[in-house]
Amino acid sequence: MSPQQIACAALSCLAVLTIASGVSADAGSVGAGDTTTSSVTRRTGPLDTCKGQRRRKSHARSKAHERAAEPSSEQESSATEASEQLNEDSASLDSADRDTATQAAPIPAPAAAPQQLDTSSAEVSDPASLEPRPESVRTFAMELRAGAGLTQRIIDVPASQGHLTFDAGWAPALDVRAAGRLTGQHLFLSFRAAYQTSLGSVASDRLQLPASSTGQASVRSSHFDAGITPGLWLGAGPDSSALSLFLGYAVRAFTSVTELALPRFTLHGPVLRLELDVPLFGRVVSFHLAPEAQMLLSISRDLQRAGQLDSLGFAFGGEADLQFRIHARIALRLSYRESHGFASAAVQAQQFSDTERYIVAVTSVSY
């Protein structure tokens, strides 16, 4: 025990003894009782003081314990509050997710992006679709052709003294053409102008009589035609076969540098040409066939007098070519053309004949 506690206990014992002795000594006296009461009151003061100190110490210890316990309770309360706040936040997030899902559910998924991806993948997987197709992509196309080859001209004119025969043989030739086409889904309309001529041709003419003489001269043989060609596609669009009809006008001419027994002349008139185009191997190769017929409405007067010919005649022939496409806009053509012209003569029921042939290689450029 501490010294203070021992002192308090001693004082308590002394006070008890004092009170007991005072009560026994002054039991019969009222005045003495009053004095004893006041003395007891004075003497019990230290005992009350000691008890008050003990109560204060006990109260201080309880306060100290409460203070020591307060941090744990505050931690528990803060942890409880944090868990409650976390639960509230989780509940609010769940409700927000449910609201978002509810709002996003009626919105359909966009389908444009997958379609665009499919289209691009199809184009990449098919490189041939990226190549330009002049006839199918454009509604109007132009084409220029230029080439060279060989030509032959044979003319037989009946005369009063016998036949006047002219044979120029094979000579160099030039071929130039321009064409355009207006293309539709099922029909098309094209136009063209073509010119073919010999270059540096030397010919001989002779009368088929025993006493006839033979001469040499520079001559030129030429052919020109122009017209329009309506047609139709035989399949699904411009990449298919085509059938068309050329409606135009054609002129064939013969000229010489020096005077010959055969006069210079021209034959011309309307011409009809039925044309068939057949593409092969995806239009890499194509075949063109065109038989033709012509009415000779005009024959030069000098030729009529020399052969006593009628003023009208006719011609038939045709052309064929094979095309090889080496680029989307460039092609190589091998072409052959032949035509025979006739006119009636009054001499011995003979007739005039004129034959022209062209074999050329042509390069065509379309745009």
| Residue pLDDT, tens place only, 211-269 | 444 556 788 999 999 999 999 999 887 889 999 999 999 999 999 887 777 889 999 99
pLDDT in tens, 2-60: 655 666 666 666 666 666 555 444 444 444 444 444 444 444 444 455 455 566 656 66
- What are the respective helix, strand and coil percentages of the chain, to the nearest 5? 35, 45, 20
Q: Look up the domain containing 55 and give its range.
A: 3-87
310 and 169 part of one domain: yes
Q: Is 186 exposed, middle or buried (0-12, 13-18, 19+ CB in 10 A)?
A: exposed
For helices 3-25 and 45-104, give the axis angle rounded to 10 degrees: 130
> How many domains does the chain contain in total?
2
Boundary-marking domain end, from 50, 65, 87:
87
CATH number, domain containing residue 205: 2.40.128.90
Q: Are strands 309-325 and 265-280 parallel, antiparallel or unpaired?
A: unpaired
**Residues 152/171, Cβ–Cβ less than 8 Å:** yes
- From 317, 319, 185, 203, select the one nearest 254 (Cα to Cα): 203
Cα–Cα dist 149/103, whole Å: 79
160 and 27 part of one domain: no
Boundary-marking domain end, from 52, 87, 122:
87
- The amino acid sitting at 232 is L
70 and 144 part of one domain: no
349 and 266 part of one domain: yes
For helices 45-104 and 30-43, give the axis angle rounded to 10 degrees: 50
pLDDT band at 204 (very low <50, low <70, confident <90, very high): low
Q: Give me the chain's average pLDDT, please.
A: 75
Give me the residue label for tokens 């409880």: 80
Task: Note whether residue 122 is domain-resident.
Answer: no
Q: Return the pLDDT at 7.
A: 62
49 and 157 part of one domain: no
The tokens describing 204, both together, are 């001989």
b/e string for 221-249 if b means 16 or more Cβ within 10 A?
bbbebbbebebebeeeebeeebebebebe
Cα–Cα dist 226/190, whole Å: 11
Cα–Cα dist 168/182, whole Å: 40
222 and 164 part of one domain: yes
Secondary structure element (H or E) that encloses residue 224, with its range: strand 215-233
pLDDT in tens, 97-144: 555 445 544 455 555 444 444 444 444 444 444 444 444 445 899 999
Q: Return the pLDDT at 71.
A: 46
Boundary-marking domain end, from 27, 53, 87:
87
With pLDDT > 90 as the criterion, what percentage of the chain qualifies?
A: 41
Instruction: Report the pLDDT averaged over residues 66-92.
Output: 56
pLDDT in tens, 113-122: 444 444 444 4
